[in-house]
Structure 1
């Protein structure tokens, strides 16, 4: 499919607005307690929603209690694939999701289902420029070094698994960012960037900055609520 046609294709998917950003390839556990999102879980498991996929999109303000228009959320979100799930005795759900593909939100329909439904266009990375091999190698080394510095400052462990050389610059940038606790604004900017080399450069800069903060503060960052444990309410749903 050519870029022009791809840009014009739209689909509808269920939406789950959150005060966090899901990155492609990242894992996000969620605790679903509000009735409409319990229903979303049922629809995902029974096939009413095909392919066990829905969209996660970050809210622009923590003060928004009810998302009613695209203005209440960021323009770019990420689809989540439902993985493990557990229905609790009182009807709540603990689920684990994995980020897949970015989308641009065009419209929100709050009357089609108990939960929000969005009309979206898919957002893919631009191709790498010709002759980018040397630039990729340099940026990859810088990003891995920044990631190691962050992990050393944050978690104080001796070693971390290094992504293999087959991991391209686009997936690598998300993989490294997903492994660290970054502010929502930084994660959203990384999600929106469609130039893989620029995004890899952004990851290096952000991780170096955060590692410096942690070293100066001599503090270990607390995980966001979504990642503490599945048994606790993890989201404003």
Structure 2
């Protein structure tokens, strides 16, 4: 599950995705990322979440195993309003935006400041995948998204958080999870 501004490293090996990456790079466009919800993306049938995030390719390299590695950053959330499969098997869709192109920043309120402080301590320890992010520890949307990305939650729970439109509601859902993780085990 990809959130706006979040990192997404991918290994590309299927022809349809190699072609998609070429097109995205050539035309300087994003592609959509949605959660596969049941089945398998490679085999039929698979279900897909209706809400996803556009991803922009920001880096690529040849991996030691010969596959193409790309690093993407999430940009904007969208809702799929129509979907179809191309002849090469690539899933396509028509979308509507769920976020403004430049959403207004909602500051992290005092009651959730401990979440931003925790993220400030943890994020540098997570390695290269987060090293290119510009920290926005005062932004409730950014803090909530990064925490959901790194918390060990089921993908369906992460998807539910992606679908929330209120960043403060997302922080309110995260706070008890962090509190429980801090409690000593008897």
TM norm. shorter chain > 0.5? yes
Q: How far is 1:32 from its partner?
A: 0.7
Q: Does 1:100 align with 2:75?
A: yes
1:17-60 Cα deviation digits (max 9, x unpaired): xxxx111111111001111111111111222xxx3310010011
Alignment RMSD (CA, Å) = 3.5
Q: Which of the numbers 144, 149, 157 marks the counterpart of 1:178?
A: 149
Distance change (3 Å), C-alpha of 1:119 and 1:112: farther
CA distance in 1, matches of 2:19, 2:68: 10
Q: TM-score when scaled to structure 1?
A: 0.60
Q: Give the direction of change, closer, same or farther, for the CA distance of 1:147–1:168 in structure 2 (3 Å limit).
A: closer
**Structure 1 counterpart of 2:110:** 138
Counterparts of 2:45 and 2:83, CA distance in 1? 7
Q: Which consecutive unaligned segments of at least 5 residues does structure 2 have?
A: 127-134
Consecutive unaligned residues of structure 1, counting only runs of 5 or more, are: 1-20, 156-162, 217-237
Pick 1 or 2: higher relative contact order, CA cutoff 8 A, min separation 6: 1
Number of residue pairs matched by the alignment:
173
**CA 1:83 to 1:143, structure 2 compared with 1: closer, same or farther past 3 Å?**
same
Q: After the TM superposition, which segments of 4 or more aligned residues of structure 1 sit over 4 Å from their partners?
A: 62-65, 87-91, 145-149
Which residue in the other structure is 2:53 paired with? 78
Task: From the CA coordinates, give the structure whose radius of gyration is larger.
Answer: 1
2:140 is aligned, of 169, 181, 185, to: 169
